[in-house]
């Protein structure tokens, strides 16, 4: 059994930089992380151990008790920012610059008179940050969500982690359902996401089994898993090496390895080592 790693995978610079900033913070017990900094239980556990307080993503309406509030890489709306500042909170901002680009694109479309359509997951923390500042908007998760809309100008953007192939299908559905509307598309899928998806696409024809490492609640990890399943591969989603089972790889010859953007390098390497151990065991049993 051969293990083939994707050329690009794992933690993106946006999440890495946000984590690096937490390392520099003194007195973490005085800081509330406003939502999940990363959708990764190992990392969240370490932050808790260091003393950071955490507001769950569903509980962000409640004002944190701490003096400082850390904005995650997913960003927040200007409205939310103003609410926190008016309440006297000191903001530690780790918003990814590529998320800021999505906000700017949405605002630009609105300023130009477009009804804004966000291709992404309704309720996702990044998407909430984008739409909370808009007057006229909707979120579509897939082509089945697309309907004829009563607007002459439709501006389309994507959550930064939407696969480009998915965005193309949804955009085609918007065009089809709104044939007379003026459409403008701004590509806001981030570069690390594109690189990871391209790396997975080139891996798919060369493997019979795929292992995806990442949090079970990580949206982009789930999309990698779905792509593997759609491609007809035996696909396994694990959070860490301990979840791997040797019996999953009966008959597997070429196993691809990829990971979501919130996965630590050490977790990927541990899964890689565990897969190689399973491969060695299989070959010695022959």
Burial class, 254, CB count within 10 angstroms (exposed 0-12 / middle 13-18 / buried 19+): middle
Instruction: Answer yes or no: 126 catalytic.
Output: yes
In whole angstroms, the minimum distance from the beta carbon of 72 to ligand SF4 comes to 9
Q: Where are the beta strands (DSSP E) in 180-230?
A: 182-185, 209-213
Which value, to the nearest 10 degrees, does the dihedral of the CA atoms of residues 135, 141, 142, 147 take?
-30
CB-nearer residue toward ligand SF4: 214 or 228: 214
**66 vs 219 by CB, closer to ligand SF4:** 219
Binding residues (CB under 6 A) for ligand SF4: these are 12-15, 73, 96, 98-99, 160-161, 190, 192-193, 261
The closest residue (CB) to ligand SF4 is 14
203 exposed, middle or buried (CB, 10 Å; 0-12, 13-18, 19+)?
buried
- Minimum Å gap between C-beta 39 and ligand SF4 is 11
Of the pair 47, 207, the CB lying nearest ligand SF4 is at: 47
Shortest distance in whole angstroms from residue 6 CB to ligand SF4 = 16
Beta strands in the chain (DSSP E): 2-5, 31-34, 53-55, 68-71, 90-93, 115-119, 137-140, 153-158, 182-185, 209-213, 234-238, 254-259
Nearer to ligand SF4, 33 or 73 (CB): 73
Would you say 53 or 196 has its CB closer to ligand SF4? 196
Kindly state the smallest distance separating residue 41's Cβ from ligand SF4, in Å: 18
Q: What share of the chain is helix, strand, coil (3-state, %, to 5)?
A: 45, 20, 35
Taking the complex as a whole, the smallest distance from the CB of residue 252 to ligand SF4 amounts, in Å, to 29
Q: What is the distance of C-alpha 143 from the center of its chain?
A: 20
- Which residue of the set 41, 80, 86, 126 is catalytic? 126
Catalytic annotation, residues? 126
């Amino acid at each position: 059994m051969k293990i083939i790693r994707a050329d690009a995978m794992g933690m993106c610079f946006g999440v890495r930089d946000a984590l690096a900033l937490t390392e520099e913070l003194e007195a973490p017990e005085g800081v509330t992380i406003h939502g999940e900094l990363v959708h990764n239980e190992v990392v969240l556990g370490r932050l808790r151990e260091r003393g950071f307080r955490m507001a769950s993503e569903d509980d962000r309406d409640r004002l944190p008790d701490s003096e400082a509030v850390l904005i995650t890489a997913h960003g927040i709306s200007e409205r939310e920012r103003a609410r926190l500042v008016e309440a006297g909170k000191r903001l530690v901002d780790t918003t990814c610059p590529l998320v800021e680009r999505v906000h700017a694109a949405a605002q630009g479309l609105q300023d130009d008179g477009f009804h804004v359509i966000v291709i992404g997951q309704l309720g996702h923390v990044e998407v909430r940050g984008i739409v909370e500042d808009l007057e006229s908007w909707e979120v579509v998760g897939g082509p089945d969500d697309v309907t004829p809309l009563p607007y002459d100008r439709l501006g389309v953007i994507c959550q930064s982690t939407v696969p480009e192939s998915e965005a193309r299908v949804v955009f085609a559905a918007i065009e089809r359902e709104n044939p007379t509307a003026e459409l403008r598309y701004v590509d806001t899928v981030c570069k690390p996401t594109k690189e990871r998806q391209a790396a997975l696409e080139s891996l798919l024809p060369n493997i019979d089994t795929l292992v995806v490492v990442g949090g079970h609640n990580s949206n982009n990890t789930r999309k990698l898993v779905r792509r593997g399943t759609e491609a007809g591969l035996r696909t396994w989603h694990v959070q860490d090496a301990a979840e791997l089972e040797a019996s999953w790889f009966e008959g597997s010859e070429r196993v691809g390895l990829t990971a979501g953007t919130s996965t630590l390098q050490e977790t990927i390497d541990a899964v890689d080592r565990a897969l190689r151990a399973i491969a060695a065991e299989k070959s010695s049993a022959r």
